Amino acid sequence: MRIIAGSAKGRRLFSPSKQKRNLIRPTADRAREALFNIIASKVNGAVILDLFAGTGALGLEALSRGAASALFVDQHHEAISLIKKNLAACSFQAVSTLLKRDLAGNLSFLRQYCPEQGFSIIFLDPPYKKGLGLNTLFCLDTDSFVADSGLVIVEEDSACKLPAKVGRLNLYDQRCYGETGFWLYHLKRIEKNV
């Protein structure tokens, strides 16, 4: 597993041991490359939230491609350890925050880390087929963590069905790469009369 492009291009990332692959499932390089080809114009200067971060590969790829900062969140000790190692390997500690939290409940703890305008890009890569992606989408919308022009990208099993609309979040693209599926949502802007 490597960083595909940008300032850390080619940097090898630490991966979970074979025994821990049932807890931490890294996004394959080819799927990650395809996703970043789709969202390339949104990454530079973005404020990233990487939930269920695993190895941190999605957030790290964004930082390598010019994102301003990233907040990584996972509940597993092994994932936190991998993310720390990968942040150091890519020299992104200064622009990153790492939290160990259970994401199955509410996300109110994020309020103290959320920029005033919200996060530009939010990655959700929960364990497949557990419904955590949909639950987290509802929480993100309810608590207004998404910037006005922000993106929320859910990675799930490609056979999964996610809705076209979750609160103010609207699905605008969906892609499958083998067993990996990406659902891309953007926030429906509320037009203001001037």
For the segment 31-55, the average pLDDT, to the nearest whole number, is 95
Whether residue 127 is contained in a domain is answered as: yes
Structural domain containing residue 64: 29-187
Whether residue 144 is contained in a domain is answered as: yes
Whether residue 12 is contained in a domain is answered as: no
Whether residue 68 is contained in a domain is answered as: yes
**In this structure, are residues 43 and 65 in contact, taking their beta carbons and an 8 Å threshold?**
yes
Query: Which tens digits make up the pLDDT trace of 33-43?
Result: 999 999 999 99
Q: Which CATH number belongs to the domain containing residue 39 in this structure?
A: 3.40.50.150
Q: Is it the case that residue 116 has pLDDT exceeding 60? A: yes
User: What are the CA-CA distances from residue 76 to residues 10, 21, 53, 87, 95 (Å)?
Assistant: 26, 12, 10, 17, 22
Whether residue 90 is contained in a domain is answered as: yes
**In this structure, are residues 175 and 39 in contact, taking their beta carbons and an 8 Å threshold?**
no
Reported as half-sphere exposure (CB side, CA atoms, 13 A), residue 130 has a value of 12
Q: How many domains does the chain have?
A: 1
Percent of the chain scored above 90 by pLDDT? 73
Whether residue 50 is contained in a domain is answered as: yes
User: How far apart, in whole angstroms, are the C-alpha atoms of residue 13 and residue 176?
Assistant: 23
